[in-house]
Amino acid sequence: MSLTSRDVEKIAHLARLGITDPEKPVYAANLSKIVEFVDQLARAKTDGVTPMAHPLEGLTQRLRADEVTEADDREKYQRNAAAVQAGLYLVPKVIE
Partner 1 sequence: MMKDWEVVIGLEIHAQLATRSKIFSGAATAYGAPPNTQACLVDLAYPGVLPVLNAEAVRMAVKFGLAIGAQIAERSIFARKNYFYPDLPKGYQISQYEQPIVGRGALEIVLDDGATRRIGITRAHLEEDAGKSLHEGLANATGIDLNRAGTPLLEIVSEPDMRSAKEAVAYMKKVHTLVRYLEICDGNMQEGSFRCDANVSVRPRGAAKFGTRAEIKNLNSFRFVEKAIQHEVARQIELIESGGTVVQETRLYDSDRDETRSMRSKEEANDYRYFPDPDLLPLAIERAFIEAVRASLPELPDQKAARFVSEYQLSGYDAGVLSASRETGAYFEAVVGRVGAAHAKLAANWVMGELSSALNRENLEIDAARIDPQRLGGLLERVIDGTISGKLAKDVFEAMWTEGRDADAVIEAKGLRQITDAGAIAKAIDEVIAANPKQLADYRAGKDKLFGFFVGQVMKATGGKANPAQLNDLLKAKLGGG
Partner 2 sequence: MSWHARSIAELAAALERGEISSVALTRHFLDRISGLNGALNALITVTADQALAAAAVADRRRAAGERGPLLGIPLIHKDIFCTDGVRTSCGSRMLDNFVAPYDATVVARLKAAGAVMLGKANMDEFAMGSSNETSFYGPVRNPWDLDKVPGGSSGGSAAAVAARLAPFSTGTDTGGSIRQPAALCGVTGIKPTYGRVSRYGMIAFASSLDQAGVLARSAADAAVALGAIAGFDPRDSTSVDAPATDYTAALDAPLRGLRLGLVKEFSESLEPRNGALIAATLDAFRALGAETTTVSLPSLPLSVPTYYVVAPAECSSNLSRFDGVRFGYRCADPRDLRDLYERSRGEGFGAEVKRRIMTGTYVLSAGYFDAYYLKAQQVRQLIAGEFRAAFQQVDLLIGPTTPTPAFGIGAKIDDPVTMYLNDIYTIGANLAGLPAISAPCGFVDGLPMGVQLIGPHFAEGRLLNAVHRYQTATDWHVRAAPGYA
Residues of this chain that bind partner 2 (CB under 8 A)? 3, 7-8, 11-19, 27, 30-31, 33-35, 37-42, 44, 46, 49-57, 59, 61-62, 64, 73, 76-83, 89, 91-94
Q: At what angle do helices 23-38 and 5-14 cross, to 10 degrees?
A: 90
Of 1-9, 26-34, 36-44, 81-89, the segment contacting partner 1 by CB under 8 A is 81-89
Judged by beta carbon distances under 5 to 8 A according to partner kind, the member of partner 2, partner 1, none in contact with residue 34 is: partner 2
Contact, 1 vs 35, CB < 8 A?
yes
Residues 6+ apart with CB under 8 A from 11: 3, 31
Helix (H) or strand (E) holding 13: helix 5-14
- Three-class SS state of 28: helix
The least distance separating partner 1 from the CB of residue 78, rounded to whole angstroms, comes to 7
Site residues for partner 1 per CB under 8 A:
14, 16, 53-54, 56, 59-70, 72-74, 77-78, 83, 85-96
